[in-house]
Amino acid sequence: MLSIEDLRVEVEGREILHHVDLEINQGETHVLFGPNGSGKTTLLMATMGFPDYQITGGKILFKRKDITHMPLNERAALGIGLSFQRPPTIKGVKMRQMLEICGKGDKNVESMAHSLDFDEFLDRDLNDGFSGGEIKRSELLQLMAQNPDFLLLDEPESGVDLENIALIGKVIEKLLEREVGLHKGKSHKELKRERKKAGLIITHTGYILDYLDADFGHVIIAGEKCCDGNPREMLKTIKEQGYDECVRCCGLNESVLSKQKIESE
């Protein structure tokens, strides 16, 4: 579904991603790990098509179309949706109106909002005075209305209190068609085979994996993807031994992390 080949991305004249390859098939959910400033967000933003993230080499194919230089809104129309980490506030544009934009007007805004316990935000200005957790719910609600085939989620659990994290996990599960046991008469295997949605999730803490299963994990360090594998195994290693182990394991120079730390500061 999404195929990233030898991708190089520059931000403000500095190359952040170097020769990244990534392949995500229909029905798959992938998780992206990496220390701060490693280029995870850059990969998501470049995939969505933000002009500040300039693609200087390689290509991105989505549904077999070359979207490397396609404008943002056309990528959205093709079925890519992104949850923003820090979305801007837009005064005078109501949450309700944004959901109508996302859903092209033919979605039941009220009931969707209700499912995320977000009813009372519908007539508020978009993101105006929203807390961290409210931002996350607002973003997921927009994605729910947009209903994209491919989801890019940037740390969906950050800033969310424990009470809401399960709710958020459930919604993401639903967006990715990974709910368990809801479809009568169909075996899990069948459901899995029929699954159309796919996604790429950045997680820093890994908490979201307590509520959601992922198929593959990747580690990005200093702009290079250096590891692919089982996401839970990766998370366990990172939790216990930190990214130093990834650096060692991937045979990278150990100065990479400290150098990157300095740059990201």
Partner 1 sequence: MGTNQEEKKALAKEAKDKLATYGTDINLEDFSPETDEHPYQEDLSTFSLSDQEQMLKAGVDLSSKNRSGTFVQKDHSVVHCSATQQGMEIMDIDQAREKYDWLHDYWGKAVPVNMDKYTARAELHQEHGYFIRSLPGAKSIYPLQACLYLEEDNLSQDVHNIVIAEEGSELHIITGCATGPHVKSGLHVGVSEFYIKKGAKLTFTMIHNWAEGVAVRPRSATIVEEGGVFLSNYMCMQPVGTLQTYPVAYLVGEGATALYNSILIATPGSEIDVGARVFLKAKNTRSEIISRAITTGGKIIARGHIIGEVPGIKAHLECKGLILSDEGIIHAIPELEGHRKDVDLSHEAAVGKIAQEEIEYLMARGLSQEEATATIVRGFLHVDIEGLPPELKAEMDKAVEISEKSLL
**Of the residues 36, 56, 101, 210, which one makes contact with partner 1 according to CB under 8 A:** 101
Q: Report d(CA 79, CA 75) in Å as an integer.
A: 7
- Can you tell me whether residue 192 is helix, strand or coil? helix
87 binds partner 1 (CB under 8 A): yes
**Distance in Å, CB of 210 to partner 1, minimum:** 28
51 binds partner 1 (CB under 8 A): yes
Two structure tokens written together for 62: 């989505």
Cβ-based neighbour number of residue 131 at 10 Å: 11
92 binds partner 1 (CB under 8 A): yes
User: Which lies closer to partner 1 via its Cβ, residue 93 or residue 249?
Assistant: 93
Q: Report d(CA 154, CA 105) in Å as an integer.
A: 26
82 binds partner 1 (CB under 8 A): yes
**Distance in Å, CB of 101 to partner 1, minimum:** 5
- Can you tell me whether residue 148 is helix, strand or coil? coil
84 binds partner 1 (CB under 8 A): yes
Listed residue (29, 39, 78) closest to 209, CA to CA: 29
Q: Report d(CA 68, CA 55) in Å as an integer.
A: 7
**Of the residues 88, 181, 185, 251, which one makes contact with partner 1 according to CB under 8 A:** 88
Residues contributing to the site for partner 1 (CB under 8 A) = 48, 50-51, 71-73, 76-77, 81-82, 84, 87-88, 90-93, 97-98, 101-102, 104, 125, 142, 146
